[in-house]
Structure 1
Amino acid sequence: MASNQTIQRQVNESIVEFLTTEMVEAMVRTVKDDALRLGDPSYGNPNDGAGGPKDYSEGDETMEAVYYKLEMIGFRVGERLIERISKDRLRFTDNLDVVKFICKEVWMFLFKKQIDNLKTNHRGVYVLQDNQFRWFTRMAHDQSSAESVKRVTPYLWFPCGILRGILSNLGIASVVVAETSSLPACTFQIKISKAGP
């Protein structure tokens, strides 16, 4: 019994949030286990269950490896995601159109809301402000605590990769960084190189 109707596939939102939360923890464990296997003493004794990074410190070699892995996973997701979201859309005319599409359509697809604020210097730098970043709203945190901000920072690496993957698949070379100073708000900065549509 064949049908010409397309099956709408959906994923439970809470599963996606759980997956993204656990992905960071899994990457930290993987990098730590790799270092222990190689005999790096800075990670403690592999038999006592202790050691390893207790927090996510900037500049830490372990966290650089975690950042790279999470960003690359996000990059691959972004490359595939934009194919699905933009398949019935006309080609973008310039970089600003692409960023506006990300702020409206992509953010709506991913987080059920549009970006709260978009700023640009019209020289290839775009700042996307989300005042209620969905993946942070259910995390327990002290809004103004520097420790809370430091702990949630790795959870921004995956969406940075998604944004970079989207832009890459549209032929735009970019660097994407994110920061947060007051939770659950966060800011994504996209720097686009001169080559692009």
Structure 2
Amino acid sequence: MVDETLFDYLHMSIVEHYNNENESDVETASAYLSQIGYRVGYSLSERLSKDNARYRDELDTVKYLCKELWICLFKRQVDNLRTNHQGVYVIHDGRFRLLQQTLTTMNKPIDSNNRLHTLYIAYSNGLLRGILTNMGYPCRVTAEIVDFGVRFQIEVNPVVGQK
């Protein structure tokens, strides 16, 4: 419980810092937060998956992310995982923890056009990208805010020389 509170506070502080430092440029602040998330996700993936063998394919890896790692990171499973079986995955979390904290602290409705909400999601995009890249699947992650949750779209890039 204490570690969750510390993580939430650290996350809010980092977002607030980059929001204040780059008040005129949301793209720069998002890029910084995404890069921080990438480094954390890459390292965290090494630590959490060192006891597990590599998964057979990218679908198994994304399922592992949704079932095991998502619980570790966000204290709940995803609500929905969809794929087109061509390297595109859509993860929907209807009560995304890192965005829900803004509801209580800002007293504002969740809105995809809100600058601060965009920054909260940027860190998570980088986190997911770092995890999957370390597991052998470099990808591009985008997110959109829907209702009270977030929909992440992951596009896995085929690695040259990999079947």
Alignment of 1:145-160 (within 5 A): 149-160=114-125
1:164 aligned onto 2:129 = yes
1:63 and 2:26 matched: yes
For residues 154 and 143 of structure 1, the distance between their equivalents in structure 2, rounded to whole angstroms, comes to 15
Q: Tell me the TM-score normalised to structure 2 length.
A: 0.88
Amino acid at match of 1:182: D
Q: Of Structure 1 and Structure 2, which has the larger fraction of its residues in strand?
A: 2
Q: Deviations over 1:43-74 (max 9, x none)?
A: xxxxxxxxx44xxxxxxxx1111111100000
Aligned to 1:193: 157
2:135 aligned with 1:174: no
Identity of aligned residues (%): 39
TM-score by length of 1: 0.74
CA distance in 1, matches of 2:125, 2:76: 17
Q: Aligned partners of 1:139, 1:127: CA distance in 2, in Å?
A: 23
For residues 41-80 of structure 1, the aligned pairs below 5 Å read 52-53=23-24, 62-80=25-43
Deviations 1:88-127 (A, max 9, x none): 1111110001100100111000011111100000000000
Cα separation, partners in 2 of 1:74 and 1:145, compared to 1, 3 Å: closer
Match of 1:20 in 2: 11
Mapping 1:101-112, distance limit 5 Å: 101-112=64-75
In structure 1, the gaps of 5 or more residues are 1-9, 32-51, 54-61
How big is the shift at 1:15? Answer: 1.3
Residue type of the partner of 1:193? N
The match for 1:118 is: 81
Secondary structure (helix, strand or coil) at the match of 1:26 reads: helix
Work out the CA distance in 1 between the residues paired with 2:27 and 2:121. Answer: 13
User: Residues 120 and 146 from structure 1, CA distance in 2 versus in 1: closer, same or farther, beyond 3 angstroms?
Assistant: closer
Change (3 A) 1:12 1:124: same
Q: In the comparison of the two structures, how many residue pairs are matched?
A: 158
Unaligned runs of 5+ in 2: none
Partner of 2:92: helix, strand, or coil?
Answer: strand
Alpha-carbon displacement from aligned partner over 1:132-160 (angstroms, at most 9, x marks no partner): 1011223234546566x554121000011
CA distance in 2, matches of 1:87, 1:25: 33
Alignment-mate amino acid for residue 181 of structure 1: V
State the structure with more CA Rg: 1
Alpha carbons of 1:146 and 1:161: their partners in 2 closer, same or farther (altered >3 Å)?
Answer: closer
Compare the two structures and name the one with the higher helix fraction: 2
Q: Contact (CA 8 Å) 1:143, 1:182: kept in 2 or not?
A: no
Whole-Å separation in 1 of the counterparts to 2:125 and 2:101: 20
C-alpha distance in 2 between matches for 1:146 and 1:171: 31
Tell me which of the two structures has the higher relative contact order, counting C-alpha pairs closer than 8 angstroms and 6 or more residues apart: 2
Question: Residues 87 and 192 (structure 1 numbering): CA distance in 2 closer, same or farther, change over 3 Å?
Answer: same
